[in-house]
Structure 1
Amino acid sequence: MAKEDIGERGEWLFKLLMTELCGRPDPYFRPRFLGEKYPTFDFIIEVVDQPSCFFFVQVKGTTLGYTVKENRLRVQVNQDDVDLMVAYPAPTYVVGIDVNQNGVGYLLSVNEPRDNVASLTTQFPIDCNALKDLRDEVIGFWSTRNMVLAGSRFKE
């Protein structure tokens, strides 16, 4: 499979994971693809029942499997992308997708300064519990901020 095909499959599998219903009538999240030209991030993700709450994700798909010693997914995020993620004034994450298996993805927060991601921890698999926790984390982040632009010079 060509590298481009692996990445595209990873993005489709990511969308399936993020829109899992988890016993609810609606999913927790609404993924929106940002396009090939958008730097660093692949998706902006809205919280379905609170659309003012959102976060950004870089998706990394792989067919390379896992490291032997620590069972980490073989995907990488370079230091420039890590630094850009940390600088964003919104929650940011990397999601690694094992494209050899349906429904297998892992989440990593990249909101604080750190080194590049040489391989991705499998400590945070994306399942219904993780999706609920992620939703709560993102809502918690935005609920502590006043995001109203008051006094704009362009208002009537």
Structure 2
Amino acid sequence: MDKNLVGERGESIFNTRITEYEIFQVYFLSAKAPVVDFLIEIADEATPFQCLIQVKSTTLGYLKRNGELRAKVPVDKMQKLINRPLPTYVAGVDITNEKVYICPAFNDVNAYTSSMPITHILDKQNAVATKQTLDLLKQDIIDYWSNSNINVYKANFRSKL
């Protein structure tokens, strides 16, 4: 399958899975965004916090030695994700089985240079695991922003415009 078609199909599957249970609003950033594919926002007026997600799609399946998804993030792209001031994640998409795996991209400890863990899944066939993963992602984003002091900073910021 053509590499671009794999990527587009993976983005489509990701968009479908991340919007289950109407927890998140999804904004596709298009191919013009060099580092991330989606801006995700919590669909809750009390906590409309955001994160960025890079989608990596594959038709290669899983590693035999540890079961991880054969999707990878180049080191330079991973570093650019880490450097973004928003919470950042990578979504590995198994095109064949239409499963999505969410992984954090916050520091160099999380290097997905050859494969991605399959711990946090979004899967149409497993509603319980999908809901748990979406709830964990939502809480992770809330925790990030709640500990950032952004409300204090923004209220005291003096724009020069």
TM-score in same-fold range (> 0.5): yes
Cα deviation for residue 116 of structure 1 reads 4.7
Percent identity over the alignment is 32
Give the equivalent residue in structure 1 for 2:24: 29
Q: Does 1:141 align with 2:141?
A: no
Give the equivalent residue in structure 2 for 1:109: 104
Give the equivalent residue in structure 1 for 2:3: 3
State the Cα RMSD in Å.
1.4
Give the equivalent residue in structure 1 for 2:160: 153
Structure 1: 5+ residue runs without aligned partners? 22-26
Cα deviation for residue 153 of structure 1 reads 2.1
* TM score, norm. by length of structure 2: 0.86
Q: Does 1:43 align with 2:46?
A: no
In structure 1, distance between residues paired with 2:48 and 2:159:
19
Q: Which runs of 4+ in 1 moved over 4 A?
A: none
SS of the counterpart of 2:115? coil
In structure 1, distance between residues paired with 2:89 and 2:113:
12
Give the number of equivalent residue pairs.
148
**Which one-letter code corresponds to 2:57 in the other structure?**
G
- In the alignment, which of 84, 90, 105 is matched to residue 88 of structure 1? 84
Give the equivalent residue in structure 2 for 1:24: none
In structure 1, distance between residues paired with 2:158 and 2:52:
28
Q: Which structure has more helix as a fraction of its residues?
A: 2
- In the alignment, which of 109, 115, 120 is matched to residue 116 of structure 2? 120
Give the equivalent residue in structure 2 for 1:19: 19
Cα deviation for residue 151 of structure 1 reads 1.8
SS of the counterpart of 2:121? coil
In structure 2, distance between residues paired with 1:59 and 1:116:
12
